[in-house]
Structure 1
C-alpha cells in the first residue's frame, strides 16, 4: 500500500509539472509583447531562485556549496538554465508557442543519441525510428513554409533545437552536484538567470513601465508555477518514480502547450498540428521505450 501511495503521489506531481510547464508557453508569448525575452525570463528565474532558497533553508537544507562543486554547479546552470530557458524563450521571437514547445521537447530523443555517443549505450532500432518520426513531425509542422522558412523561422528553430540539444547533453555528461535538491535548484536558477538579466539590460533595454497588469500576472504565474512549483514537484516525482516513467510523462507538456496556445492565443490547431504532434510524440515515446 505504501508503494502504491508513493507512486500515486509521484504521478500527481508529474501531472502538475507537465501542465504547469505546458501552460507557460502561451504565457511567455503573452509576456513577450511587453518585455523582452532574456530580461523577462531572467527576472522570473531569479525571483524563483530566492523563493526556493528560502524554502530550502526553512526545510533545513544547507545552501553552502560543497568544496570542489562550484565549477560543476556553474556548468550545470549554464546548460540547464541559461541555455534551456534562455534559448527556448528566444525561439519564440520567431516561432509560435506551439511550434517552440514541440521542438524543445524533442530533448529525450537527443539524449538517447548522445547517450550512445558519450556513454557507449547501444543505439537501438527503436531510437533510430523515434528520431525519424520526430523529424517527420517537424517536417509536417513547417513543411508548408517553403523558402520563407530560412528567413522567418530558421533562427527560432535553431534556438529551440539548441536548447533541446544542450539540455540533453547536460543530462548525459554532467553528474549531479552533491547538494540537497532544493538548494541545487536555487543555485542553478540564480547562476543561470543572472546573465540573462545582465544581457537583457545591456542589449534589450526593457521598459519597466511597459508591463501591464496582465503582464504582471503572467510574471507572477511564471515565477511561482513553472519555475517554483513545477521544479519542486519534478524533483518530488523523481524521488518516487523511475526516471524513464518521469521522462515519458513530460510528453504531456507539448500537448498542453499546443492546445493552450490555440485557446488563449488563437494559434492554428488543425490537421497539420495534430499530425505533427502525433509523429513527434510517438517518436519520443519510441526512443524512450526500454526493453522489458
Structure 2
C-alpha cells in the first residue's frame, strides 16, 4: 500500500531538514576551523583576556537572543541546576577557551589544534572512570590510537621540556572532557539552549574578571593602533567564530542526532590545520601529521555510535 500524501510530505520535509542540517554542519566546520588562524592573528594585537571577554560576551548575547526569539525558557529556577551549570560553564567554556588562547601564544596553531582534538578521547576515558560506561572494542582501539598519537607528538618534546603552549592545549582538552562528563553525571533538565547561554555568560564573566585583574579597565585608545589584518581577524572571531558558530551549532543539534553532529565536528581540526598552513604559513612536520592522523582516527572511533560494526 502506498504512503498517504501527508506521510510522504512529512518524509520529504524531514529529509529536507536533515539535508539542511548537514549543510549547516559543513559550514560550521569551516567557520570553526578558520577561527583557529583568526584567533592567532587577533592575538598579535589584542590581549588574551580582551579577546575572550569580547568573543564569549558576543556569543552569550547571541545565544540569549536566539533563545528569546524561539520562545525558550531561559531562567534556571532550581538551585541544584544553577550550581551544576556554573561548574560545567567553568570547565566547558571558561577554562577551555582561556587555556586555548594562551596555548596559541605558546605553540604553533596547527599543533594546538591537533592536541586539543584529543578531547573526545579524554571524555571517553573519564566517562569510563566516573560513570562506569563500558568500552567496546572500537572505543578501546580509539583510546589506543589516541595514546599513540599523543606519544608521537609529545615524546620528542619532553627532552627539552614541553612548551607552555602544548601544556595549555592539553589542559584545555582535559577541561572540556571533564566538563562534558560532569554534565552527563549531573543529568541537567534545563533547556539545552538555556544551559549553553548561561555557560557562555559564565565564560565571559570569568574572562572579564581576568581582564580587570591583570590589565585593569580597558581603554579605547588601546584599539587605535590595531592593523587592518588584526581588525579583520578580530571581527571574524566575534561575528563568525563565536556568534554565528554557536547559532549554527544549536540549530544543528536540534535537527540531527548527537552522534552525527559530533562526527561532523571532526572537520574542524582538518580545516584548522589546513588554514594554519595557508594563512599563517605554518609547516607541520611529519611528527605533527602522523600524530594528527592517529588522533583524528581515534576521535572517529570514540564518536561513532555504539555497536555500529555489530551485525544485525
TM-score norm. by structure 1 comes to 0.89
Residue from 66, 76, 83 that aligns with 1:71: 83
In structure 2, how many angstroms separate the alpha carbons of the residues matched to 1:181 and 1:267?
37
- Separation (CA, whole Å) in 1 of partners of 2:187 and 2:19: 26
Deviation at 1:267, TM superposition (A): 0.4
Q: Give the match for residue 104 of structure 1.
A: 116
1 CA distance for matches of 2:54 and 2:177?
24
Displacement of 1:64 in angstroms is 2.4
Specify the alignment match of 1:123 in structure 2.
135
Instruction: Give the structure-2-normalised TM-score.
Output: 0.84
User: Secondary structure at 1:93's aligned position in 2?
Assistant: helix
Where 1:280 maps in the other structure, the secondary structure is helix
Bigger drift between 184-193 and 173-182 goes to: 173-182
| Gap change, CA 1:67 and 1:121, over 3 Å in 2 | closer
Partner of 2:179: 170
Deviations 1:148-196 (A, max 9, x none): 243xx1x222221221122112222224644444443322211111121
Q: Distance in 2 between matches of 1:229 and 1:180?
A: 20
| 1:95 paired residue number | 107
Structure 2 residues without counterparts, runs of 5 or longer: 1-11
Q: How does 1:34-53 map to 2 (within 5 A)?
A: 34-53=45-64
Q: Alpha carbon RMSD of aligned pairs, Å? A: 2.2
CA distance in 2, matches of 1:60, 1:243: 23
Cα distance between partner residues in 2 of 1:33 and 1:252: 26
Q: Which moved more, 1:131-140 or 1:116-125?
A: 131-140
1:113 aligned residue: 125
Contact 1:36 1:204 in 2 (8 A): no
Residue correspondence of structure 1 range 19-38 to structure 2 within 5 A: 19-38=30-49
Match of 1:261 among 267, 276, 280: 276
| Secondary structure of 2:106's aligned partner | coil
2:7: which partner in 1? none
Query: Matches of 2:99 and 2:187 in 1, distance apart?
Result: 22
Counterpart CA distance in 2 for 1:211 and 1:177 is 42
Offset from partner CA, 1:234-261 (integer Å, 9 cap, x none): 1222222222222211111111000000
Does residue 3 in structure 1 map to residue 14 in structure 2?
A: yes
Q: 1:202 to 1:210 in 2, by over 3 A?
A: farther
1:120-155 CA-to-partner distances (Å, cap 9, x unmatched) read 1112333232223223323334555462243xx1x2
- Bigger Rg, which one: 2
Counterpart of 1:58 in structure 2 is 69
Whether the 8 Å contact between 1:13 and 1:233 is mirrored in structure 2 is: yes
